[in-house]
């Protein structure tokens, strides 16, 4: 198909507009992170004086490294648990007919729609009473709760796509229901599992509301919350540069995570299973 | 290898629908049994119950003399070939075939040897490392067979294994399935809706209708002695012609003329206490161009003369189609058969008589032809119950 130059140019223009619109704030933050303290507020997009001092500063203190470890740990554990539980629930919803199935779907949808902010005070009280306040489980638990509906919804759509006969075949080949699930169904649902894992991880990684209200020290404070506590070396110093650098640093894992798993999301993995 | 016994096996779904009713089948060790019937007749349900993929509502399933109702599929030691093949797309052909052995914790050397043996038998050796998605329909079908034979199970269950192949390949695979079964000598239950497969493959055929066994017997026996209208109409291709007739004193009045029944047929009909109104059935192959029938032979049959509507010359034989004036026999059984064959979609398709003539017949389309038929091969059926009144099992 011959694409005329005019048509190409039109599309190129539209693409650029969309990309700039979407990425401009990110690029501005990146630009800020490379500026020196003196040129920070000069309004130039391209820094006049380049520096890596902001990056050196954030990695020189526990103020950033410790929250980064918390973020990674909490998001990874919450994702893992939510995806495993979500897989089981989604499989049950997609394949089995059990009493209360509709109620389960309805309740999980309700949780997904619940405004998180309204739960902050009760959660704070509960976690204080249980001794979960300012601990990793104190964040992991609510993250799993809010990530599960998302996981169940995404995964059950994928499970529905897998031909049921494969499971019957596995049973006939001598598999227990568990073996049939883990050796046949789960590998085929892998693209769905990775998609879900990405979505859940991003949700946990980006959360600010729970992170700021259910933590108080560096024992469990995650990066989004920690950023708001950044100060300069003295109280008169502007922490904009270091905040920008930290923001860039925490965006990187997400980008890597998506790029890494995107390759695993291969469409049409189930082709060839049943008549084509 | 095993014998499989279904003893009054019934499947009733929670909504009350009866899929299989009081099924009694005894399958001997090494036997090849076909379950055949139109869609929705319960044949796949029966197979799934033998496999353990569906619960048995009542009755008993015995494999090798042992009650198997409550056994999980994996403990029955039965392999199944699915209509869709159900190959594991994330595994290579080799891994697909090795899967049952791996689950049975067979050691690696034996797995390799058995998979290669099976691949040899099925001509899959050069495809062992490919993925199912890169194989043709016939190859996928063979992989599915390979996965079944590799662990030498007690029995094979096959659920319309050839129905996704094109006609030519289906013919070839039919022969190889038959050969393979004889070579392995494994008890096999095979489900199909194709009467040709049923006739050619099985030692015995079980004809099902609405979850009820209509008749069990060898293919030839079912063809010669159908127990009722349904079996008579289902077995044989093209299927048997049915015309309404009145029976009086051994004389049959039908749209094909007045026929004096032979002594054999008359005695059978009398013994069966035949009603006055009957349905007469004649197979297409029991007609012949009257000009080609020897004088001495003619007396044993009857003739009718009608214009040939359509003539199909197959080379070795000719099929001539006639239209009869009167309505053809219609009963619930025949309507079901017609619906299954899609004949109801063809207007007027039901009032045609099909005859098979010798290739040397000089029949022409549109011209009158005198057709002879063998009066001794006429079968009479009770129109209300469908029972064969001339049954001589």
- In this prediction, residue A232 has a pLDDT band, given cuts at 50, 70 and 90, of low
Helix (H, G, I), strand (E, B) or coil at B151: coil
pLDDT band at A274 (very low <50, low <70, confident <90, very high): low
User: Do residue B212 and residue B305 come from a single domain?
Assistant: no
State whether A273 and B86 contact (CB < 8 Å): yes
Q: Check CB contact under 8 Å for A168 and B86.
A: yes
Residue B391 lies in a domain: no
Contact indicator for B4, B63 with CB cutoff of 8 Å: yes
- State which of B174, B195, B229 marks the end of a domain: B229
* Closest Cα in chain A to B48: A168
Chain B: residue whose CA lies nearest to A164: B86
Residue B138 lies in a domain: yes
Minimal Cβ distance to A271: which of B53, B89, B104: B89
Residue B25 φ/ψ, nearest 5 degrees: -140, 135
The C-alpha atoms of residue B119 and residue A200 are separated, in whole angstroms, by 44
Indicate the residue of B73, B84, B100 with minimum beta-carbon distance to A275.
B84
Residues B267 and B297 in one domain: yes
- 100-119 in B: which are within 8 Å (CB) of A? 100, 103-104
Q: Is residue B368 part of a domain?
A: yes
Tokens describing residue B113: 């040897």
| Cβ–Cβ gap A188/B53 under 8 Å | no
Q: In this predicted model, which residue has the larger pLDDT, A82 or A238?
A: A82
Is the CB of residue A268 less than 8 Å from the CB of residue B132? no
Q: pLDDT (tens digit, 9 = 90+) per residue, B281-328? A: 999 999 999 988 888 888 888 888 889 999 999 999 999 998 876 666
Classify residue A104: in a domain, yes or no. yes
Token pair for residue B127? Answer: 């495809």
Instruction: From B229, B254, B288, give the residue that closes a domain.
Output: B229
Please tell me which of the candidates B84, B103, B134 has its beta carbon nearest to residue A173.
B103
B110 touches B186 (CB < 8 A): no
Residues of chain B neighbouring A188 (CB-CB closer than 8 A):
89-90
Is there a contact between A138 and A214 (Cβ–Cβ < 8 Å)? Answer: yes
Report yes or no: B232 and B240 within 8 Å, Cβ to Cβ. yes
Specify whether B105 is located in the same domain as B53.
Answer: yes
Judgement on whether residues B76 and B225 belong to the same structural domain of the protein: yes
pLDDT in tens, B102-134: 999 999 999 999 999 999 989 999 999 999 989
Both B246 and B125 in one domain: the answer is no
Smallest Cβ–Cβ distance between B53 and the set A168, A175, A272 belongs to: A168
Our CA-based measurement puts residue B129 at a distance from the nearest CA of chain A, in whole angstroms, of 14
- On whether both B170 and B313 belong to a single domain, the answer is no
Beta-carbon count within 10 A of B152 CB: 13
The percent of residues in chain A predicted with pLDDT above 70, rounded, is 91
What's the confidence (pLDDT) of residue A259?
A: 77
Q: Tell me if B219 sits within 8 A of B61, measured CB to CB.
A: no
CATH number, residue A116: 1.10.3720.10
CA distance A178 to chain B (A): 12
Radius of gyration (Cα) for chain B, nearest Å? 24
The answer to whether position B234 is within a domain reads no
Instruction: Indicate whether A149 belongs to any domain.
Output: yes
Residue A268 gets the label, from left (phi > 0), alpha (psi -120 to 50) or beta, of left
Record: contact A171-B137, CB cut-off 8 A: no
Which residue from A169, A174, A175 is facing B86, i.e. has the nearest CB? A169
CATH number at residue B286: 2.40.50.140
Of B322, B320, B321, B323, nearest in space to B357 by CA: B320
Tokens 């050196």 identify what position? Answer: A56
Tell me if A54 is assigned to some domain. Answer: no
Percentage of chain B modeled with pLDDT above 90: 56
Per-residue pLDDT tens over the stretch A87-107: 999 998 888 888 888 898 888
Residue A246 has a CB neighbour count (10 Å cut-off) of 27
Please give, rounded to a whole number of angstroms, the shortest distance from the CA of B85 to a CA of chain A.
6
pLDDT for residue A264 = 60
| A242-to-A38, A57, A62, A248 alpha-carbon distances in Å | 13, 7, 13, 10
Map tokens 């070939």 to a residue: B81
How many separate domains does chain A show? 1
Q: Is B253 on the interface with A (CB under 8 A)?
A: no
Q: Is residue A273 in some structural domain?
A: no
How many structural domains are present in chain B? 2
Which pLDDT belongs to residue B55?
Answer: 92
- Predicted confidence (pLDDT) per residue in B208-263, tens digit: 998 999 999 999 999 999 999 999 989 988 889 888 889 988 888 888 888 888 88
Q: Check whether residue B205 and residue B269 sit in a common domain.
A: no
How many Cα atoms sit within 13 Å of B183 on the Cβ side? 11
The answer as to whether A138 is a domain residue is yes
Q: Give the residue from B229, B252, B275 where a domain finishes.
A: B229
| Arithmetic mean of pLDDT, B331-353 | 62
Where is average pLDDT lowest: A200-214, A257-271, B43-57?
Answer: A257-271
Rounded Cα gap, residues A168 and B194, in angstroms: 24
The side-by-side arrangement of strands in the sheet containing B155-159 is: B78-81, B155-159, B187-192, B32-36, B204-209, B212-217
| Per-residue pLDDT at A219 | 87
Contact A188 B80 (CB under 8 A): no
pLDDT at B342: 54
Tell me phi and psi for residue B278, to 5 degrees: -135, 170
Determine the distance in angstroms separating the CA of A152 from the nearest CA of chain B, rounded to an integer: 23
pLDDT at B349 over 50: no
Backbone φ, ψ for residue B317 (5° rounding): -155, 170
Whole-Å CA distances, B393 to A165, B28, B224, B227, B268 = 40, 21, 9, 8, 11
Per-window interface: A 153-212 vs B, CB < 8 A: 163, 165-166, 168-176, 179, 183-184, 187-188
Instruction: Please tell me whether residue B190 adopts helix, strand or coil conformation.
Output: strand
| Tokens, residue B230 | 């349904």
- Structural domain span for residue B253: 241-381
- Check if B74 contacts A (Cβ < 8 Å): yes
Q: Do A275 and B85 touch (CB under 8 A)?
A: yes
Interface touch B103/A275, C-beta < 8 Å: no
The CATH number assigned to the domain holding B8 equals 3.40.50.300
Return the closest-CA partner of residue A257 out of A212, A184, A199. Answer: A199
In a domain, A21, yes or no: no
**What whole-number percentage of chain B has pLDDT above 70?**
94
Tokens of A184: 């046949």
Q: How large is the ipTM?
A: 0.80
Residue B236 lies in a domain: no
- Give the minimum alpha-carbon distance from B151 to chain A in angstroms, rounded to a whole number: 9
Residue A189's closest chain B neighbor by CA? B90
State whether B308 and B281 are in the same domain: yes
Question: Closest residue of B to A180, CA-based?
Answer: B103
Asked if B274 and B178 sit in the same domain, the reply is no
Kindly state whether residues B195 and B156 are assigned to the same domain: yes
Q: Which domain holds residue A123?
A: 61-262
Residue A177 burial by Cβ neighbours in a 10 Å radius (0-12, 13-18, 19+): middle
Nearest CA in chain A to B134: A272
Q: Classify strands B204-209 and B187-192 as parallel, antiparallel or unpaired.
A: unpaired
**A228 or A144, higher pLDDT:** A144
State whether residue A85 sits within 8 Å of chain B by CB.
no
Residue B344 predicted with pLDDT over 60 = no
Q: What is the per-residue pLDDT for A226?
A: 87
Determine, for residues B103 and A172 on separate chains, whether the beta-carbon distance falls below 8 Å. Answer: no
Contacts of B103 in chain A (CB under 8 A): 173-175, 179
**Do B253 and B213 have their domain in common?**
no
Percent of chain A's residues with pLDDT above 90: 30
B154 interfaces chain A, CB cutoff of 8 Å: no
Residue holding tokens 């359509």? B310
In this structure, are B320 and B257 located in the same domain?
A: yes
Strands B18-27 and B32-36: unpaired
- As separate numbers, helices (DSSP H) first and strands (DSSP E) second, chain B gives 11, 21
| pLDDT tens column, A247-273 | 888 888 788 877 776 666 544 444 445
- Is A8 inside any structural domain? no
CA distance A99 to chain B (A): 14
pLDDT, averaged across chain B: 89
Instruction: Give domain status of residue B175, yes or no.
Output: yes
CB B223 within 8 A of CB B38: no
CB < 8 Å to A276, chain B? 133, 137, 140
Q: Is residue A45 part of a domain?
A: no
Question: How far A195 CA sits from the closest chain B CA (Å)?
Answer: 18
């Amino acid at each position: 198909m011959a694409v005329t130059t005019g048509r190409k140019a039109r599309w190129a223009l539209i693409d650029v507009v969309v990309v700039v619109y979407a990425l401009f704030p990110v690029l501005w933050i990146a630009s800020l992170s490379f500026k020196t303290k003196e040129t920070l507020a000069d309004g130039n997009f391209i820094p006049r004086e380049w520096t890596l001092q902001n990056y050196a500063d954030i990695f020189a203190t526990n103020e950033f490294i410790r929250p980064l470890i918390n973020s990674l740990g909490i998001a990874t554990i919450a994702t893992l648990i939510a995806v495993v539980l979500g897989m089981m629930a989604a499989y049950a919803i997609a394949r089995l007919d059990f009493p209360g199935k509709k109620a389960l779907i309805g309740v999980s949808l309700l949780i997904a729609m619940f405004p998180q902010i309204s739960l902050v005070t009760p959660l704070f009280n509960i976690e204080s009473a249980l001794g979960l306040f300012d601990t990793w489980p104190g964040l992991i638990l609510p993250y799993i709760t809010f990530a599960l509906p998302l996981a169940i919804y995404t995964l059950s759509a994928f499970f529905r796509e897998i031909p049921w006969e494969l499971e019957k075949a596995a049973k006939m080949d001598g598999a227990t229901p568990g073996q049939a699930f883990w050796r046949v169904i789960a590998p085929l649902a892998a693209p769905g599992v990775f998609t879900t894992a990405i979505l859940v991880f991003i949700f946990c990684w980006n959360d600010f509301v729970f992170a700021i209200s259910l933590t108080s020290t560096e024992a469990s404070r995650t990066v989004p919350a920690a950023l708001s506590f950044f100060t300069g070396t003295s109280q008169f110093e502007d922490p904009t540069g270091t905040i920008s650098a930290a923001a860039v640093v925490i965006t990187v894992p997400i980008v890597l995570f998506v790029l890494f798993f995107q390759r695993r999301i291969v469409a049409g993995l189930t082709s060839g299973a049943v008549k084509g | 290898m095993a014998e499989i016994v279904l003893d009054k096996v019934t499947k009733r779904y929670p909504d009350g629908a009866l899929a299989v009713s009081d099924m009694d089948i005894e399958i001997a060790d090494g036997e090849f049994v076909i379950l055949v019937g139109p869609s929705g007749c319960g044949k796949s349900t029966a197979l799934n119950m033998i496999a353990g993929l569906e619960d048995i509502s009542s009755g008993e399933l015995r494999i090798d003399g042992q009650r198997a109702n409550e056994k999980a599929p994996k403990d029955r030691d039965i392999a199944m070939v699915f209509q869709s093949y159900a190959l594991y797309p994330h595994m290579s052909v080799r891994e697909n075939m090795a899967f049952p052995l791996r689950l049975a914790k067979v050691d690696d050397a034996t797995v390799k040897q058995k998979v290669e043996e099976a691949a040899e038998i099925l001509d899959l050796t050069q495809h062992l490392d490919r993925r199912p998605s890169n194989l043709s329909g016939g190859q996928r079908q063979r992989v599915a067979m390979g996965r079944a034979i590799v662990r030498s199970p007690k029995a094979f269950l096959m659920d319309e294994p050839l129905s996704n192949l094109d006609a030519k390949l289906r013919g070839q695979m039919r022969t190889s399935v038959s050969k393979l079964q004889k070579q392995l000598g494994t008890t096999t239950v095979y489900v199909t809706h194709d009467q040709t497969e049923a006739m050619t493959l099985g030692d015995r055929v079980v004809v099902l209708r609405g979850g009820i066994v209509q008749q069990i017997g060898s293919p030839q026996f079912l063809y010669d002695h159908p127990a009722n209208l349904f079996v008579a109409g289902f077995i044989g291709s093209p299927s048997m012609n049915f015309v309404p007739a009145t029976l009086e004193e051994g004389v049959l009045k039908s749209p094909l003329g007045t026929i004096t029944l032979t002594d054999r047929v008359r005695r059978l009909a009398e013994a069966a206490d035949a009603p006055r109104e009957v349905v007469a059935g004649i197979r297409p192959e029991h007609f012949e161009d009257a000009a080609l029938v020897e004088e001495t032979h003619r007396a044993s049959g009857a003739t009718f003369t009608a214009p040939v509507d359509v003539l199909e010359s197959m080379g070795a034989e000719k099929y001539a189609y006639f239209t009869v004036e009167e309505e053809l026999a219609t009963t619930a059984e025949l309507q079901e058969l017609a619906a299954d064959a899609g004949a109801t979609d063809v207007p007027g398709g039901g009032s045609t008589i099909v005859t098979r003539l010798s290739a040397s017949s000089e029949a022409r389309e549109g011209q009158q032809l005198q057709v002879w038929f063998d009066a001794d091969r006429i079968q009479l059926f009770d129109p209300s119950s469908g029972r064969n009144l001339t049954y001589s099992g």
